[in-house]
Structure 1
Amino acid sequence: MRRLLCTLLLSTLLAAPAAAEPLRSWITSGDRKLSLSEQKPVEAVAPDAVGKVPLVTVDAKERHQTIVGFGAAITDASAHILQKRLDEPKRTALMQELFGHEGNGLGFSLTRVTIGASDFSLDHYSLDDAPGGATDPDLAHFSIDRPAAEVFPAVRAALSINRDLRVIASPWSAPAWMKTNGSLIKGQLRDDAYPVYARFFARYIKAAAGHGVPTDYLTIQNEPDFEPKDYPGMRWNAVDRARFYADHLAPVFKAEGIRSHVLDWDHNWDQPEQPLTVFANEKARDLVSGVAWHCYNGQVRAQELVRAAYPDKEVFLTECSGGEWAPDYSASFTWMMRNLIIGSTRHGSRGVVMWNLALDERHGPHAGGCDTCRGIVTVHSKTGAVTRNQEYYAFGHASRFVKPGAVRIGSPAEVGTVDTVAFENKDGSRVLIALNHGGKPARFAIADGARRFTVALPAKAAGSFVWSP
């Protein structure tokens, strides 16, 4: 009898469910006292035990977009700094920290590269600079040597750390000989260059793949409604972009078997009518899988206008930069959390990409354009010391915890002074990213089914809260 009782007791213990794991949290405060700092775990309590605090209800039955990732662009400048300003041990450690998931790695899984020069290059060039400015309709002078020297090795290093990394490629200008003014700066694409430019993109995608760099997403023009005065750029209106997609790029991609996803616009929130005009062209709409947005003008809710009209189209935020025009740490950190990490994903973004991954202490190197931009990190050119900027911590609140393949789930946009967005990872774990944009500490409870977690955020602070149901 005693043996039977012991056996029954042991069976009961083994069959009993394990105690629920506590909620873990990491907080960054605008006063810099906390920087992705892990807090004491919080145990779940019953619904009637939380008192009269505001409730943030997370609803995993409410399903939205699947996340591709968060990250920053490996510009020519960033790649040059990584390759030339850091010795191999420091470079390896920094890349592991930015792209890896082990330890305190940020786990960046989305990046952007330039097809030819941007303002954050050492000089101005394209991938087909024919001698003497001659035309090159056969692309005989096409060369991948420039990105192969520094950018592609940096991307391959990131891919070796994080196999989930996805790459967006964008040109700032067509080669000068294809343009109305014969220059990389300003101008437009000539009508007779449309066929060869479509073949140019196919050539780039295949050449980059040959160097181990995929083009998961392509945009055909960075900021097509802007002609910068001192670095490569090209104006390209929506009607003509649609014609290029429909009549030139789509046939070439089909013939070449290219499967890269094409994103239109790649410009600010202030002109949603531009991608809407492109999608009005049925043939263009068949090729273009989504819209890329920038943050420099307009409001993040513009993403929703296009998504509401074309809910099957993908949404990405492909560029935003911090800079010394917004030097206050707390204010710029709060803005990024509210607009890029929370706002953009709440309005459909599958991925969010900051501009330069790394710049030096002089905000460069650059060839024209922005001379006050900040990178995710600053690498000091003489010492190789790394400064982690507010961009690092803002993006880390998402990339470290929200893994590729996560799904955005239900949560309130705002409760009091707290903005929120929630996700469910493929392993079932849940993540709530919250920002207290108010001037006083905020205490609230996270509700997930019958479980409650009481948490708090200092003023002007963000938190990533992680638990398993």
Structure 2
Amino acid sequence: MKKFNPINYLLIISLIVNGCSVEQKLEVEVFETSADGNKMTPVTEFRVLQDIPVIKIMPENEYQVITGFGGSFTEASASLLNALGPENRRKVIEAYFGDDGAKYSLTRTHMNSCDFSLTNYSYAPVEGDSDLLYFSIEEDQDDIIPFIKEAMEASSEGFKIVASPWTAPPWMKDNKDWRGGKLLPEYRESWALFFSKYLEAYQAEGIDIWGFTVENEPLGNDYNWESMHFTPKEMTDFVTEYLGPRLEQDGHDVKILGYDQNREHLEEWVDEMFRDEAARKYFDGTAIHWYASTFEVFPDALQYAHNKAPEKYLIQTEACVDAEVPKWQDDKWYWSKRATDWGWDWAPEKDKHLHPKYAPVYRYARDIIGCLNNWVDGWIDWNMVLDKRGGPNWFKNWCVAPVIVDPEKDEVYFTPLYYTMKHFSRFIRPGAVRIGFENPDKTLQITAAKNPDGSIVVVAFNQDHKGKSFDLILGERSQKLSISPQAIQTIVIKHSTN
């Protein structure tokens, strides 16, 4: 009989324990963008503090299916790409749509001109042309269409396009102006036909339009640039009586999104849009913007919209740092609480509290996470490219884009906003399902989704000026992680099983 050897016994116990530890470890890839200089940087070493919070991922709790993330094809952006050299043009397009880039999957463009056009124009310029015999998208041939086509070539998985009109041609409106006014009743059929003609013209170019919004900002913009006004009832009547039947008659399979403005009025719009089965038949969802506040997501309004029509899309179709001139090659500004929006100067006194100064990166990260955690399934940024002045823009309504260019020097600046968008768009893919989580740290904002390939993605945002540690748990596995001060992280759990 062999003697008991305590050393062998301890070795066996050690192997068992260590083996269990290896099996219980959560294997992750971590990418970080931070105020101290990380730009989608892989992170492999973590500074773990004592008594850290536990963040539990719960894939069994499923919410909305993700439609996508992306930005907008505007004439302003397209004209700037035309002014760059071929190498930088390709660099920007690959950065947004290529396999090594942000892999944008949901985009938007404007029908007729908008404020980020070089001039006012319409595809139906001939007054009284009710049958739209002279309809033409020639205005887009030199800029927007080539931009979209090159993006299609760069994108291996493709992307959806939402098209939005800012206004009907002035001759169809009661004030005969590009700005403000309403569609005349006698031109409702012509305006519905306009959407159908647009689809066919773009299809002839090899470009499929996935969806429409009925009108960009139907509440107007104080007559500053292209707009056309609708009440909730007027838009719903137009869709149910004219636009929906016209597209159906012409055999077009395209989504119709209603509203398309700020979230604080969302409840009254969805009440009208989904008032009865006739309206629900034609409205595929609701479009929203973020300009009502620099920090407030309006979760109650988003929850209300979802509950009103849980089977419909809820898509953020426009957001940007507005009323600011871009800061060139100044990453720190984008992480600093210095930006102001339109409301800083112009909001009514009762709404001033909704428009404090903010850090642009914070606003993007907070809003995307807040939207995802309140049933929004798609999030679209505004211009993809602007110049150092924040244009071109015929109204001189300067704004900021994730990519800023200097066409005179053929230079490109990828701002921290580009990387902020990439943390979501590259890793949370169309068809992903947002999933549940438990997070006791109220200062660390997170969201989580499970991709069609089985991978789980967690995006975390730390806006504190000190680093944080946390224990990420999925099922029986865990991994202790840390995030830098003022940082966004994407944590990818490959082909995870719970």
Q: TM-score, normalised by structure 1?
A: 0.89
Contact kept? 2:286, 2:312, Cα under 8 Å: yes
In structure 2, the CA distance between the partners of 1:188 and 1:205, relative to structure 1 (3 Å rule), is same
Map 1:136-285 onto structure 2 (within 5 A): 136-162=129-155, 163-272=157-266, 273-285=268-280
SS in 1 for 2:32: strand
**Which residue does 2:87 correspond to in 1?**
89
> Alignment partner for residue 43 of structure 2, among 28, 39, 43?
39
Cα distance, 1:57 vs structure 2: 0.8
**Which residue does 2:464 correspond to in 1?**
438
Contact kept? 2:323, 2:397, Cα under 8 Å: no
Cα distance, 1:68 vs structure 2: 2.0
- In 2, Cα distance between equivalents of 1:413 and 1:155: 40
- In 2, Cα distance between equivalents of 1:342 and 1:414: 16
Contact kept? 2:78, 2:144, Cα under 8 Å: yes
Identity among equivalent positions (%) equals 29
- In 1, Cα distance between equivalents of 2:307 and 2:401: 33
Contact kept? 2:448, 2:457, Cα under 8 Å: yes
Map 1:325-340 onto structure 2 (within 5 A): 325=324, 328-330=333-335, 331-339=359-367
Cα distance, 1:70 vs structure 2: 1.0
Cα deviation, 1:107-129, whole Å, max 9, x if unaligned, reads 11111110010100000011111
SS in 2 for 1:348: coil
Cα distance, 1:89 vs structure 2: 2.4
Code of the residue aligned with 2:106 in structure 1: it is L
Cα distance, 1:52 vs structure 2: 3.1
- In 2, Cα distance between equivalents of 1:335 and 1:219: 24
Give the length in aligned residue pairs: 440
Structure 2: where are the runs of 5+ without partners?
1-18, 328-332, 336-358
- In 2, Cα distance between equivalents of 1:114 and 1:276: 26
Cα distance, 1:149 vs structure 2: 2.1
- In 2, Cα distance between equivalents of 1:121 and 1:414: 46
**Which residue does 1:118 correspond to in 2?**
114
**Which residue does 1:350 correspond to in 2?**
377
- In 2, Cα distance between equivalents of 1:136 and 1:412: 59
Code of the residue aligned with 1:170 in structure 2: it is S
Cα distance, 1:459 vs structure 2: 2.4
**Which residue does 2:14 correspond to in 1?**
none
In structure 2, the CA distance between the partners of 1:427 and 1:168, relative to structure 1 (3 Å rule), is same
Contact kept? 2:26, 2:479, Cα under 8 Å: no
SS in 1 for 2:363: helix
Q: Is 1:312 matched with 2:311?
A: yes
SS in 2 for 1:117: coil
CA RMSD, Structure 1 to Structure 2 (Å):
2.2
Q: Is 1:98 matched with 2:99?
A: no
- In 2, Cα distance between equivalents of 1:323 and 1:193: 33
In structure 2, the CA distance between the partners of 1:89 and 1:232, relative to structure 1 (3 Å rule), is same
- In 1, Cα distance between equivalents of 2:67 and 2:144: 21
In structure 2, the CA distance between the partners of 1:205 and 1:228, relative to structure 1 (3 Å rule), is farther
SS in 2 for 1:169: strand
Cα distance, 1:41 vs structure 2: 6.2
Contact kept? 1:50, 1:454, Cα under 8 Å: no
In structure 2, the CA distance between the partners of 1:443 and 1:304, relative to structure 1 (3 Å rule), is same
More deviation, 19-28/398-407: 19-28
Cα deviation, 1:414-469, whole Å, max 9, x if unaligned, reads 62311110011111111100111233221111110111111111222111111122
Code of the residue aligned with 2:366 in structure 1: it is R
